[in-house]
Amino acid sequence: MTGTLTIAGLGPGSEALVTPEVSAALASATDILGYAPYVARVAPREGLTLHPSDNREELQRATDALRLASEGHHVVVVSSGDPGVFAMASAVFEALEASPQWRDLSIRVLPGVTAMLAAAARIGAPLGHDFCAINLSDNLKPWATIEKRLRLAAEADFTIAIYNPRSVSRADGFARALEILKDFGCSERLVIFARSISTPDETIETVILRDARPEMADMKTLVIVGNSATRRFGRWVYAPRHER
Amino acid sequence: MTGTLTIAGLGPGSEALVTPEVSAALASATDILGYAPYVARVAPREGLTLHPSDNREELQRATDALRLASEGHHVVVVSSGDPGVFAMASAVFEALEASPQWRDLSIRVLPGVTAMLAAAARIGAPLGHDFCAINLSDNLKPWATIEKRLRLAAEADFTIAIYNPRSVSRADGFARALEILKDFGCSERLVIFARSISTPDETIETVILRDARPEMADMKTLVIVGNSATRRFGRWVYAPRHER
């Protein structure tokens, strides 16, 4: 059993944000598995098999990857951003824990630039002070848990990075999240809508939460809600280092 | 005024984790500013001036960088990890806001792999579910704020990444943080001590919070406190995707 399994983060979109470690793993892979738009970022070449799949098939994809590696392939599972942040790494370990026969496989996780870091860099430094990251999808957890976390995050005065704010099948959650934050006294906070950062489709927009509308976000958007001290001047938004 | 200012993240230590974007910025720089151990990661070459400084001088360093850029230099301010996470980007924007004469400078922030992503990748996927990042240094904020955030983070059942857990001048804070989390019922949670990840000095250790001792951490350590569902098997630790 000399195969390997690598779970790699491709970063937010630009080739200039793919780490050399990930590029090397892709160059020596025999098989690439992942959600189709991410697999499409890997250039085809002889000796490389691409296995694109749908985005609701994480656990099956993880199991397929483990099986291929156990058969001697050099498998790379690709995620956008960082593979450990709301992405494929957890699914692979879930599949591995359920499959003791594969426990001795050679497995590595290669980190990447996750969406909130790319978005923050583009607008300034909104993550310069304590912050949290919340996945707004309720496919895998109760909506009540999300609401509770939003309230506690606002009470803690964390800057809040919201992943997967809105999709066609979950059109209402983000609107409710904005209402919760308004009810909690966050109406004057700055909200950054960062879409497809580092790609040709990149857009970024900052508004006061009171003026934020749900349709400003979709599944390609990363939303950052500033803390109570977050400042805007010119085209920049940043969280001051000091807090009184 | 044709100078430029770039605030760049060098990643956690390994060259294999420096993005191509950052490598290109370093290759075309005339001046590198930063905390001495980070500046030491940039190879000297003709035409490049290195400006190492002490780690309590962020605002002065930021002002120096802006001045050099305004004089036509191509300046790169380097941080370890990501420059926007408890690092130099906020200090630069603070200095810029205080110095309107430099507002039209060409400024870019280049993201990097921050310590918690590198640590998480090495041990599995402990950031696979909602999480927060707290800077435990009380140099710039009241300790009471840190305590409040730890309690609310535990109540929210966030995985908690703790930056700057402990230094010679702040020996007690991390011990108090562990006590607070114990009092909050987190004694059985998994705690990861990740030190100097991706460097030759790398160590990583996981214990139950009950068994965590303050001296397991220093300023080169990133601590991750798992959420209530975080699991360990073999050498891996991960946060399951599902939550009930």
Give A145's contacts in chain B (Cβ within 8 Å): 157, 243
Q: Which one-letter amino acid corresponds to residue A56?
A: R
Give the residue-averaged pLDDT of B58-81. Answer: 97
pLDDT tens digit sequence for B77-112: 999 999 999 999 999 999 999 999 999 999 999 999
What is the full DSSP assignment across A52-120?
Answer: EE-TT-HHHHHHHHHHHHHTT-EEEEEESB-TTSSSHHHHHHHHHHT-GGGTTSEEEEE----HHHHHH
Which among A19, A82, A131 has CB closest to B19? A19
Are the folds of B4-113 and B116-238 the same? no
Is A140 in Cβ contact with B121 (below 8 Å)?
no
Q: Do A240 and B90 touch (CB under 8 A)?
A: yes
Q: Model confidence over B215-241: pLDDT tens digits?
A: 999 989 999 999 999 999 999 999 999
pLDDT exceeds 80 at position B154: yes
Question: Which of B78, B137, B241 to substitute to test the interface with A, most A CBs within 10 Å?
Answer: B241
Chain-centroid distance, C-alpha B33 = 17
Closest CA–CA distance from residue B78 to any residue of chain A (Å): 14
Give residue-wise pLDDT tens across range B115-145.
999 999 999 999 999 999 999 998 889 999 9
Contact A75, A29 (CB under 8 A): yes
H-state helical runs in chain B: 20-27, 36-39, 58-70, 88-97, 115-123, 143-155, 173-183
Please determine, for residue B197, whether its predicted confidence score (pLDDT) is greater than 70.
yes
Instruction: Nearest by CB to A127, from B85, B148, B152: name it.
Output: B85
The closest of B73, B76, B101, B108 to B3, measured between CA atoms, is B73
Domain residue limits, chain B: 4-113, 116-238
pLDDT at residue number B124:
98
Contact between chains at A20 and B20 (C-beta distance less than 8 A): yes
- Report whether pLDDT(A140) > 90: no
Burial B24-52 (b: 16+ CB within 10 A, else e): ebbeebbbbbbbeebbebbeeeeebebbb
Question: CA B222 to CA B26: how far, in whole Å?
Answer: 26
Partner-chain contact A18 B20, CB within 8 Å: yes
Decide if pLDDT at A244 tops 80: no
Q: What is the pLDDT of residue B1?
A: 54
Residue A56 pLDDT > 80, yes or no?
no
- The mean predicted confidence, pLDDT, of chain A is 96
Q: Reply yes or no on whether the pLDDT at A101 is more than 70.
A: yes
Q: What percent of chain A has pLDDT over 70?
A: 99
* Cα nearest neighbour of A93 on chain B: B238
Distance (Å) from the alpha carbon of A2 to chain B's nearest alpha carbon: 19
Q: What is the pLDDT of residue A1?
A: 54
Give the number of beta-carbon pairs within 8 Å between A and B. Answer: 221
| Nearest in space to A60 (alpha carbons), one of A68, A48, A49 | A68
CATH number of A116-238: 3.30.950.10
Rounded to a whole number, what is the distance in Å from the CA of A203 to chain B's nearest CA? Answer: 16
Instruction: Please answer yes or no on whether A117 and B84 come within 8 Å at the CB atom.
Output: yes
Q: Please say if the pLDDT value at position B55 is more than 90.
A: no
Tens digits of per-residue pLDDT, A143-202?
Answer: 999 999 999 999 999 999 999 999 888 879 999 999 999 999 999 999 999 999 999 999
CA-nearest of B223, B244, B241 to B130 is: B241
- Is 0.95 exceeded by the ipTM? yes
Amino acid B121: pLDDT: 98
- Residue type present at position A173: G
CATH 3.40.1010.10 fits A4-113, yes or no: yes
Quick one: closest CA in A to B86, which residue? A128
Confidence of residue B180 (pLDDT cuts 50, 70, 90): very high
- Name the region of B217 (left: φ>0; alpha: ψ -120 to 50; beta: rest): beta
Q: Which residue has the tokens 């860099």?
A: A121
